[in-house]
């Protein structure tokens, strides 16, 4: 089977599970993964035959995709901020709106202060694959970046991603919801987090590719305490955020007003709600009192 034939076979196998456009996009990702060639190289070499090992690998990926497994898990890789991250069932798939959160943090640091003038201390809460702290560290190399997660398997993934991407991040195994553990951490200029924020009653409206494969621990919060992580972050920031420091969080688009009011009630001097590129309320920045 040639590269071109493999791509066409992929699209044919996936139409019905995905729409035609999405099936074509997935076929691009898979053939790039199998061959190691970018699009232009694959076009030039489209009549090259795949090796037996490549065909075997392709068959395994197709079977996983047919089970509705997300392509990122089937390939065990996902792109974020221009970098390739390893992902597996223990971590969420990095998403574009989280890239926007990282961009906001980096842009503010570059506007407010030259990175050369200050060594920022930054912590990411609920790091998963490590995509947030690693991306920040790669863009602001002088920053002292830490990250916590309650899941040791997730931290294993994050640590390997940091090693592979040559980012010096301090990963800490810690249950952030246990306030007694906070004294094991330091004080920070910036707290950033994409915490669990999907209410359990929203699960029925979500696709099987999310609910059937992504870790529920990193997705869902109780219906009767949906802001549990934001309450903890606000309380943590009151003690461990340096004067004038900032908190950046990703949020459920339906909870913008609630979370804004939550931070205001915790005596933060400024609370800004920001929309993502799709026009959804998706991020909040707060500033501690001076």
Answer yes or no: are the C-beta atoms of 158 and 137 closer than 8 Å. Answer: no
HSE-CB of 174 using CA atoms within 13 angstroms:
21
The pLDDT confidence band at residue 176, using thresholds 50, 70 and 90, is very high
Task: Give me the helices (H) in 181-284, please.
Answer: 208-211, 216-219, 228-240, 256-265
> pLDDT for 73-90, tens place per residue?
999 999 999 999 999 999
Every domain of the chain and the residues it spans: 3-67, 78-287
Residue 97's Cβ-count burial label (10 Å; 0-12, 13-18, 19+) is middle
Q: Which fold has domain 78-287?
A: Rossmann fold (3.40.50)
> pLDDT for 46-75, tens place per residue?
999 999 999 999 999 999 999 999 999 999
The pLDDT confidence band at residue 209, using thresholds 50, 70 and 90, is confident
CB burial readout 12-49, b (16+ within 10 A) else e: ebbeeebeeeebeebbbbbbebbbebeeeebeeeeeee
Residue 145 in tokens: 């970046």
Average pLDDT over residues 162-186: 97
> pLDDT for 114-148, tens place per residue?
545 678 999 999 999 999 999 999 999 999 999 99
Stated pTM of the model: 0.94
The pLDDT confidence band at residue 231, using thresholds 50, 70 and 90, is very high
């Amino acid at each position: 089977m040639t590269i071109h034939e493999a791509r066409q076979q992929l699209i044919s196998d996936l139409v019905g599970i995905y729409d035609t456009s999405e099936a074509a996009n997935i076929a691009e990702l898979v053939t790039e993964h199998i061959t190691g060639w970018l699009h232009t190289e694959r076009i030039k070499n489209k009549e090259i035959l795949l090796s037996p090992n490549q065909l075997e690998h392709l068959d395994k990926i197709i079977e996983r995709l047919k089970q509705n497994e997300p392509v990122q898990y089937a390939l065990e890789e996902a792109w974020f901020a221009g970098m390739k991250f390893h992902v597996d069932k223990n971590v969420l798939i990095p998403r574009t709106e989280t890239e926007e959160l990282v961009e906001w943090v980096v842009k503010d640091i570059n506007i407010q202060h030259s990175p050369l003038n200050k060594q920022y201390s930054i912590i990411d809460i609920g790091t998963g694959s490590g995509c947030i702290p690693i991306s920040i560290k790669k863009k602001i190399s002088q920053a002292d970046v830490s990250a916590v997660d309650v899941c040791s398997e997730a931290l294993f993934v994050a640590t390997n991603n940091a090693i592979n991407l040559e980012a010096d991040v301090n990963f800490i195994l810690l249950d952030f919801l246990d306030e007694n553990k906070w004294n094991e951490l330091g004080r920070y200029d910036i707290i950033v987090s994409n915490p669990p924020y999907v209410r359990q009653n929203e699960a029925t409206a979500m696709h099987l590719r999310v609910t059937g494969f992504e870790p529920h621990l990193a997705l869902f919060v109780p219906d009767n305490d949906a802001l549990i992580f934001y309450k903890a972050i606000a309380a943590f920031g009151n003690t461990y955020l340096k004067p004038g420091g900032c908190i950046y969080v990703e949020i459920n688009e339906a909870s913008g007003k609630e979370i804004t009011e939550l931070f205001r009630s915790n005596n933060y001097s400024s609370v800004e709600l920001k929309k993502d590129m799709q026009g959804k309320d998706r991020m909040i920045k707060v500033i501690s009192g001076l």
